[in-house]
Structure formats: C-alpha cells, structure tokens
Chain A
Amino acid sequence: MKKICNCLIIILVAVGIICGIVSAGNKTRHVVINDYAACTDLKQMHERAQFIVEGYFMPSTGTWNMARDDFDTSKESQKYYTEGLLYPFNVESVFKGSVPDTITIIQRHTDNYSGKTTVDDNYFDIDFYKKYIVFLYYNEEFDHYYAGFVPWAIKVENEVVYLEGVNEKSIIEDTITGNNYQAVLNVICP
C-alpha cells in the first residue's frame, strides 16, 4: 500500500512538473512595434516642423479615430481604433509658419489594431498650467495640427525647459542646452 502511495505521489509530481514546463513554454506575449519619424536634435526639429508655436493647452475636447478607412480617409476605420486626443491650444508666440490664435492639436494616445489597446510609447500627460513650445504639421482635410515626428513638445517652466514624450531623452538632451529656455529660442528663432 505504501509503495502504491509513493508511486502515485511520484507520478503526480512528475505530471505537475511536465505540465509546468509545458505551460511555461506556451506563455506568450503580444507586442506592437512602430516605425516612427524621429529627430535627434533641436535644429532638425526646427527644420522639419511646418509650424512652431508657443502657448497653452486647454483640456481635451474629445477624441478622434486616427485610424481611417483604408481607401477613404474621410471615413473612420470600421476595423481599427487609434485614439487621438483633441486639445484646443492658445497660441502666444509663433516661431515658424502662420497660425490662428487658437488651434486644435491632436495627440496620439492609444491604438487597438488587434483587439488589444496599447498606449503610444511617446504619449505624455499634458500639463494645462504650463507653457509649451510645440512642433507641428497641419492636416488640411480635418483642420487640425499634429505631431509629424517625435519629440514634438517642450514644456517651459519659468526659464527651464523639459523635453516631453520621448522614451530616451538622451536622444536630444545635448541640444536642450542646460535645459535653458533662451538656448532653445536661439535655435528655433535665430
């Protein structure tokens, strides 16, 4: 009887170990990797942006599906949902291009291409009490401004600036000389 019990225990342990190994082997992960436009220094950001403005974001007025119908951009996609957050932006200074006093900026927030929602790697929470310098493009069809590359926003706090929305801030750290506001202005409005 004791022998049978021991055998059963050994079999159960062995089955447990095998099941553990099999289930560990079957563990999976879902990832989304994007190829996005990026700049490595402030001069490049200045050159590439259509518009560079300074001002304040207002709280988001809503969302917009950036995923459009594959063959008709005027319609939103019925298959996918990429959430863009819409913010009114009060323009205080214009460093490049010509824009109205208030514009609408869209910020890429999440995407959902396979039923799983993923937050954009470059997303950042906007501080409505702080001034921003933003580098933008204009979408004529929908009359909103958007980020055509990352990083695209610099937060200004007194005379100190902070780069927003980059995972590896070292990309352009050198060019935000000492996080100095004036040094940034020297590059974007020489």
Chain B
Amino acid sequence: MKSIIKKVVCLLVAIVLCDQTVYAYSSVKARVANKTITYKFGSFTEGIVNKWYLKYAWQNALSDWPNAYSRITVVQSSSTSNTLGMMNESSSYLYGSTEMDFYLTSGHIYYFFGKLNVGNPDITNTNVARSAANHELGHLLGIADLNSGNAIMNVNRNRSSIYVPQTDDVNGVIATYTTWGN
C-alpha cells in the first residue's frame, strides 16, 4: 500500500514538473486596472528649449503596447494626475523611472509618474528613448525587471534594437492579469 502511494506521489510530481513552462518574465501584483493606462503628458518645453523627442517616445510606446497586445487600452485624460513626463538627472545610470502608488489588497495602481531621464546622454537616440518608455509602461502593466532575455523588461537589453514589447513581455502581462485579475 505504502509503495503504491509513493508511486502515485512520484507520478503526480513528475506530471506537475513536466507541465511547467519556463518563462523569463516576472510579474508583480501592482498594475493598472483593466489593462487601461490613463495618463496625461507632463511639460516638455520651456521657452524655446524643448524636449519633444521624449514626448514622441511616450507616444510611440503608448501605441506599441496595444499593438503588441490588443487588450491593452490607453486613455489620455486632462483630469488624471497620472503623468508621463521627464526628469533631468545628471551623472546617472538611469534611463527612466516610474513612481507609483497602489492598493495593497487589489494591487491596482491609483497614481503614477513615469519619467524619461533627459540627463542620460544616450536617450537622445530615438530608439533608446522609446525602449525606456516601453519599459516604464511595462511596469504599469505589472511586469518586473529582468536581467537577461529578449524582453523590453531586461535592464541589460540593447536599447537601440529592442525598443518595442516582445513576446515574453506580452506573456508577462497576460500572466499578471490572469494571476491577479483585472
């Protein structure tokens, strides 16, 4: 009897292990509700000085995500406090940064401020800026940083060539909302 139980347990463990698919993405509970990013743009100009290329990067990213996964919605709203803008941090290894506030129980983000770092000299490259913008939006959709892999969430990606969400990123978003709900 004991040996039968042992065999059954081993079989079950084997089935469970075989059924595991390895993904690189890492999902987290904090995410925007209903896969909807509601935002307004911050300021990109002062006098004659402008940083429009950063606004274009955000605009591209706001199209890239719904193109990669059609269930993602973006809504521009002047009444929201959620902002996509810029920062100017000098002598820094940052390309961008997102601060967010979310409810612990639901995981829903109720405030965010995504920033692209104009102080990083690399960000004048259009693809690099777009890559950073897509990375930040990935955080709003509940996926975390990675150290490797073909993904926009990989902090070591080549930002000139990986600048739109990849399959692994989309899988990460799907997993996030499957695990935690809309």
Given A28-B101, A28-B104, A40-B148, verify A66-B132 contact (CB < 8 Å): no
A30 adjacent to B99 (CB under 8 Å): yes
A77 closest partner in B (C-beta): B88
Bound Cα distance A108, B144 (Å): 22
- A128 interfacial contact with B, CB 8 Å: no
- A176 interfacial contact with B, CB 8 Å: no
Q: Interface residues of B, CB < 8 Å — how many?
A: 43
Instruction: Kindly supply a per-residue 1/0 record for chain A positions 19-45, scoring 1 wherever the CB is within 8 Å of any chain B CB and 0 otherwise.
Output: 000001111111111111111100000
B147 adjacent to A168 (CB under 8 Å): yes
A33 adjacent to B155 (CB under 8 Å): no
Which residues of chain B are within 8 angstroms of A147 by Cβ–Cβ distance? 93
- B69 interfacial contact with A, CB 8 Å: no
Q: Nearest-CB distance from A40 to chain B (Å)?
A: 5
A171 adjacent to B92 (CB under 8 Å): no
- Which of these, A24, A26, A27, A39, contacts B156 with CB under 8 Å? A39
B94 adjacent to A34 (CB under 8 Å): yes
- Which of these, B93, B99, B144, B148, contacts A32 with CB under 8 Å? B99
Bound Cα distance A81, B9 (Å): 57
Q: Nearest-CB distance from A99 to chain B (Å)?
A: 16
Instruction: Kindly supply a per-residue 1/0 record for chain A positions 103-121, scoring 1 wherever the CB is within 8 Å of any chain B CB and 0 otherwise.
Output: 0001010010110000000
- B100 interfacial contact with A, CB 8 Å: yes
B105 adjacent to A82 (CB under 8 Å): no
A113 adjacent to B88 (CB under 8 Å): no
Which residues of chain B are within 8 angstroms of A30 by Cβ–Cβ distance? 99-101
Given A25-B106, A35-B155, A37-B155, verify A113-B99 contact (CB < 8 Å): yes
Q: Nearest-CB distance from B49 to chain A (Å)?
A: 4
A27 adjacent to B105 (CB under 8 Å): yes
Which residues of chain A are within 8 angstroms of B43 by Cβ–Cβ distance? 70
Instruction: Kindly supply a per-residue 1/0 record for chain A positions 78-104, scoring 1 wherever the CB is within 8 Å of any chain B CB and 0 otherwise.
Output: 001010100000000000000000000
Instruction: Kindly supply a per-residue 1/0 record for chain A positions 130-153, scoring 1 wherever the CB is within 8 Å of any chain B CB and 0 otherwise.
Output: 000000010101101011111010
Given A30-B100, A40-B148, A71-B49, verify A35-B132 contact (CB < 8 Å): yes
Bound Cα distance A148, B101 (Å): 28
A-B contact count (CB 8 A): 126
Q: Nearest-CB distance from A138 to chain B (Å)?
A: 9
- B98 interfacial contact with A, CB 8 Å: yes
Q: Nearest-CB distance from A163 to chain B (Å)?
A: 14
- B86 interfacial contact with A, CB 8 Å: yes
B91 adjacent to A24 (CB under 8 Å): no
B91 adjacent to A106 (CB under 8 Å): yes
Bound Cα distance A27, B104 (Å): 6
B46 adjacent to A70 (CB under 8 Å): yes
Bound Cα distance A70, B47 (Å): 12
24 A-B contact pairs sorted by A residue (CB < 8 Å):
A25-B106, A27-B103, A28-B110, A29-B102, A33-B139, A33-B145, A35-B135, A36-B94, A40-B147, A40-B148, A40-B156, A68-B88, A68-B90, A68-B119, A70-B43, A70-B88, A70-B118, A71-B47, A71-B88, A139-B91, A146-B93, A149-B93, A168-B147, A171-B147
Known: A37-B155, A38-B147. 11 other contacts (CB 8 A): A33-B144, A33-B145, A66-B89, A66-B92, A67-B87, A67-B89, A68-B119, A71-B51, A73-B119, A82-B92, A150-B93
Q: A residues near B, CB below 8 A?
A: 24-40, 66-73, 77, 80, 82, 84, 106, 108, 111, 113-114, 122, 137, 139, 141-142, 144, 146-150, 152, 168, 171
